[in-house]
Structure 1
């Protein structure tokens, strides 16, 4: 595995808008395997509104762009309190989103962004970093497993 490093910086308002649009489209695409398309889009938008009520200024949430050594944006991430824990008292963080730009994939930046997110998590005083990944996202599953993440829970489904 390539030993890349990245620096995380806060997203600009324009980056936030672009990233939010991309994230909601990707989430809706994944959800559309289980829900009607319009409902999937609505759920994706509702997730953003629920977890980021103040957009990029939502307290406790870090919406960051990952830059390589040359200062080129290679991806982005959203880290915040674990939504499964009590609001305001979360001991764990949650990786809501990790994205590597297409032209930067397969070059070690996913692992580098993950390491930087873990470092941010530790600096904030959180003791663990959790995440959720859709079962069909084999690349993401491989990334997380290669970086020491283990399945904590599994949800299965069968259409009848």
Structure 2
């Protein structure tokens, strides 16, 4: 089924808290595969503090909710400057997080949110949108490929033990 077009609006403080809690929990789950859960939790909290020092009001970052025509929220996203580029010189945006709420998954809303995010990026004057995806997240990888995203870098890892 094709999703309706979504519109993006700024998150409310409670929506920001819920989105941050979900994003941090997912990040801790992923990082815990590589390190202790305690260290993973510490790193994730440090990352949030570094990239969103003023939370919802962090300059240059867009923490948004995606709504369908009825006003119902179907997901959210966090878009900001690509931190991998030198400060003040970036023309690239970064999709730090995208989330389709469980009841709306597999219905085209991921693509709709990506499209709306790309429109926001263009309005802000950025010329590209990058993102990172965990290598075993096949559904997300398929979503990004369907929407024209190309691999620009790949990190590989192998565990070796004696």
Distance 1:66 1:86 in 2: 30
CA distance in 1, matches of 2:34, 2:68: 36
Q: Report if the CA contact (8 A) 2:3-2:107 is conserved.
A: no
Q: Secondary structure at the match of 2:129?
A: strand
Q: Tell me whether 1:2 sits opposite 2:2 in the alignment.
A: yes
Q: Between Structure 1 and Structure 2, how many residues are aligned? A: 160
CA distance in 2, matches of 1:43, 1:5: 36
Extract unaligned runs of 5+ from structure 1.
none
Deviations 1:24-71 (A, max 9, x none): 000111111111111111111111101000101110000000001111
Distance 2:32 2:53 in 1: 24
Q: Considering only aligned residues, what root-mean-square deviation do their CA atoms show, in Å?
A: 0.9
> Normalized against structure 1, the TM-score is what?
0.97
Who is 1:17 aligned against?
A: 17
1:95 maps to 95
Matches within 5 A, 1:56-71: 56-71=56-71
Gaps of 5+ in 2: none
Aligned with 1:47: secondary structure? helix
* TM-score normalized by the length of structure 2: 0.96
Comparing 35-44 with 55-64, greater Cα deviation is found at 35-44
Q: Secondary structure at the match of 1:96?
A: strand
The alpha-carbon deviation at position 4 of structure 1 amounts to 2.6
Give, in angstroms, the shift of residue 3 of structure 1. 4.6
- What corresponds to 1:107 in structure 2? 107
Secondary structure at the aligned position of 1:75 is classed as strand
Match of 1:137 in 2: 137
Give 3-state SS (helix, strand or coil) of 2:29's partner.
helix
Which residue of structure 1 lines up, in the alignment, with residue 156 of structure 2? 156
The CA distance in 2 between the partners of 1:131 and 1:159, in whole Å, is: 25
SS of 2:20's partner is helix
Partners of 1:145 and 1:43 in 2: CA distance: 29
* 1:45 corresponds to: 45
